[in-house]
Amino acid sequence: MAIVVRLDVMMARRKMSLNELSARVGVSVTNLSLLKTGKAKGVRFSTLEAICRALECQPGDLLEHEEDSQ
């Protein structure tokens, strides 16, 4: 996948657990887990905004583009 989600890195920096983030953002732990492991197909702007607000970061801190290895 070309877009890599760095949610785990930001959560570790903010010392925030998945349960706490789930409560703050209003997204289920299951869905956050899918997002963290890169299994989600996409993320809504509203979800991204809520996560950025909770983790006090920018979208660029959470998403990263990587070239596909052939």
Partner 1 sequence: MSARLLRALVNLLLGLALGFLVVAAAILVGAPLLGEPLLSQWPVLAPQPDPAWQVSVAGIEAAVTLGQGVLSVEHSGYGWHWALRVVDFAISGALLMVGLWLLRRFTGEVGDGLPFSSGSAKRLRWVGLILVAFPLWQALRDLLWHTMLKGELSQQGLALVSPFQSQTSNAFQLQLSVDWGFAVTGLLLLVVAEAFRVGVALREENEEII
Residues near partner 1, by CB under 8 A = 27, 31-32, 34-35, 40-44, 47
Which of 2/42 has CB closer to partner 1? 42
Q: What 3-state DSSP class applies to 65?
A: strand
Which of 15/41 has CB closer to partner 1? 41
Please, which contacts does 26-29 make with residues 24 or more away whose CB atoms are closer than 8 Å?
26/50, 27/51
The minimum distance between CB 69 and partner 1, in angstroms, equals 24
The minimum distance between CB 28 and partner 1, in angstroms, equals 9
Q: State how far the Cα of 39 lies from the Cα of 55, in Å rounded to an integer.
A: 21
